[in-house]
Amino acid sequence: MILDAVTFIIPLVLLIIVLVSMLKILREYERGVVFMLGRFWSVKGPGLIIIIPILQEMTRVDLRTMVLDVPTQDVISRDNVSVKVNAVVYMRVIDPEKAIIQVENYFEATSQLAQTTLRSVLGQHELDEMLAEREKLSTNIQDILDQQTDGWGIKVTNVEMKQVDLDESMVRAIARQAEAERERRAKVIHAEGELQASSKLLESAQTLAKQSESLQLRYLQTLTEITSDKTNTIVFPLPMDLVEPFLKNIKNVNKS
């Protein structure tokens, strides 16, 4: 009787184990790539799926956006400046079948491709472009990565350059360059101001020359400004228009 119970329990336990191994639960963000006797069968999930033991096997694939940290890369710019650049890549699987079949490890493959692409793209630009046009360069790197990883079922959604490190000597050189640029702008602004002022003075002189009365009014205004100043010594300028009649009279008297 005991033997009969054992012979009944053992197959029951084996059956339970087989049933449990057949049932797989995939979360909403997971998909299962199923192979039948080594050949691709289908992509299943999410939810409860059934896998036939021995005949079928399943590989889980995460469809969520993954963050790939690109290690610091030594880059030589087009103007022969050595810099260290690191970046971050945001990627996700859009085709589980390709991600499992077309490449051995899609995460590692994308990481290596991002490193080589980062060095290749930045090496074609000068240092000033790396510092001033990060967004443009990041978009360029993203487009190249997305195009090359499309065959792996990978979508590169974003690339961000985190940091561009320079040698201390190069930092000092850039600071000197920026200071020289500020001095140049200051001199240009000063020269433009002098040019505008001289132009306005010329217009004023031409206007005063047309009307002698305006010159007299300007003279009186100057006298008013001088007298308002609290000084002991006042230089009293006489315009030639006032002095000239007296000079003519003196000459006429002398001649007569």
For 198-240, the pLDDT digits (tens) are: 787 777 766 666 665 555 566 666 666 666 656 556 555 555 5
Q: If you average pLDDT over residues 62-85, what whole number do you get?
A: 90
Question: How many Cβ atoms from other residues are within 10 Å of residue 35's Cβ?
Answer: 17
Confidence of residue 7 (pLDDT cuts 50, 70, 90): confident
Taking the C-alpha atoms of residue 85 and residue 44, their distance in angstroms, rounded to an integer, is: 40
- 66: which strand partners? 91
The pairing of beta strand 30-36 with beta strand 56-62: antiparallel
Which of the 8 DSSP states describes residue 150? G
The answer to whether 145 and 110 are in contact (CB under 8 A) is: yes
Q: If you average pLDDT over residues 183-192, what whole number do you get?
A: 84
Q: What is the pTM of this model?
A: 0.65
Q: If you average pLDDT over residues 90-116, what whole number do you get?
A: 94
Taking the C-alpha atoms of residue 101 and residue 40, their distance in angstroms, rounded to an integer, is: 9
Q: Catalogue all structural domains in the chain, each as residue range(s) with its CATH number.
A: 16-62 (no CATH), 66-171 (3.30.479.30)
174 contact partners, CB below 8 Å, separation of at least 6: 166
Taking the C-alpha atoms of residue 174 and residue 168, their distance in angstroms, rounded to an integer, is: 10
Position of tokens 């009944």? 8
On the question of pLDDT at 183 being above 70, the answer is: yes
